[in-house]
Amino acid sequence: MIQTFELFHSAFFMIGAIFGSFLNVVIWRFPRGESIISPPSHCSSCNKQIAPYDNIPLFSWLILQGKCRHCKTKISSRYFIVEFITGILTLFLVITYGLTPEFYINLIFVYMLIAITYIDYDHYIIPNEFILLGIFILIFAHLFNWLPIENMDGLYGGIAFGGFLYFIGKIGLLILKKESMGFGDVKLGLMLGGLIGLKLSVLALFLSFLISAIFTLIGISLFKMKTKGEIPFGPFMAAATVVIFLTRTPGGGNSILNWYFTTMF
């Protein structure tokens, strides 16, 4: 019994890693306006097409020790990291949700958030296509009641999450005289709020700022990270949302909120 259980789960890790491999292609090509379907993957240095046996998620990067088979140019560890993160989050989601409609919806959003994180980090943009796809999926999810929240709660969540960031951005513009919160973050908040509802949107906002503060402090003190005054906020919103996905309790509750309300009141 134990063995089939583990086999079942490790399969989801590998399936996730395969999607991670696809996300790597999306992260590189989409913001550059290249097709994500063709041409097949090739080395960015010597341009040689990558053979299927050198394109196995996780393993190929390890076997080739992070170098191109032909020209030995270094292949970024990011390829491995994205595949690993996608695999492990797929595994955690299936453990948390089982094979429910909510699992599939959250899985799609997690995959989008991984791509958004790296694209925002590289280019300081959150592509509108991702937001539109997300909203399209949300409309269906709400229509068929696949989410544990009321339709109106999704609307309030979106307004609260996106609206708060819009408000922060306006204040930042007044005080700092420059853009501190991009409109991409506002649109991302709108989408994520529609997915998690009002209560969890408040938690997501709190966690986004908390994670960004911790990350920035550690980065500056330990790694002498230089802030150009411009740190993309999308990745922190993505991290906060993933934390919320993974701390779900039955009936649409959340263990962080449960803990907070039992400890504080």
Span 94-113, contacts to Zn ion by CB under 5 A: none
Nearer to Zn ion among residue 80 and residue 103 (C-beta):
80
Residue 67, beta-bridge partner list: 74
Count other Cβ atoms within 10 Å, centred on residue 87. Answer: 23
Give the residue, chosen from 36, 40, 42, 45, that forms a contact with Zn ion under the rule CB under 5 A: 45
Instruction: Kindly state the smallest distance separating residue 51's Cβ from Zn ion, in Å.
Output: 12
Q: Which residues contact 29 (CB under 8 A, 6 or more apart)?
A: 35, 36
Question: Residues in the chain, how many?
Answer: 265
When asked if residue 202 is in the footprint of Zn ion (CB under 5 A), the reply is no
Helix (H, G, I), strand (E, B) or coil at 148: coil
Shortest spacing between CB 26 and Zn ion, in angstroms:
21
For Zn ion, how many residues bind (rule: CB under 5 A)? 7
> 3-state DSSP call for residue 40?
coil
- Nearer to Zn ion by Cβ, of 51 and 176: the residue is 51
Q: Is the N-terminal amide bond of 232 cis, ω within 30° of 0?
A: no
**Smallest distance from Zn ion to CB 12, Å:** 32
Q: How far apart are CA 188 and CA 190, in angstroms?
A: 5
Could you tell me how far CA 96 lies from the centroid of its own chain?
17
Q: Measured from the CB of residue 256, what is the shortest distance to Zn ion in angstroms?
A: 45
Per rule CB under 5 A, is residue 46 in the interface with Zn ion? yes
Q: What is the DSSP letter of 67?
A: B
Residues 118-157 that bind Zn ion (CB under 5 A): none
In the complex, minimum distance from the CB of residue 75 to Zn ion, in angstroms, rounded to a whole number: 8
Distances (CA, A) of 128 to 6, 114, 141: 39, 15, 20
Q: Which of 15, 18, 43, 50 binds Zn ion (CB under 5 A)?
A: 43
Cβ proximity to Zn ion: between 54 and 102 the closer is 54
Q: Are strands 248-249 and 253-254 parallel, antiparallel or unpaired?
A: antiparallel
Lay out the site mask for Zn ion across 59-88 (x = CB under 5 A, - = otherwise). ---------x-xx-x---------------
Closer to Zn ion by CB, 39 or 250: give it: 39
> Footprint of Zn ion on this chain (CB under 5 A)?
43, 45-46, 68, 70-71, 73
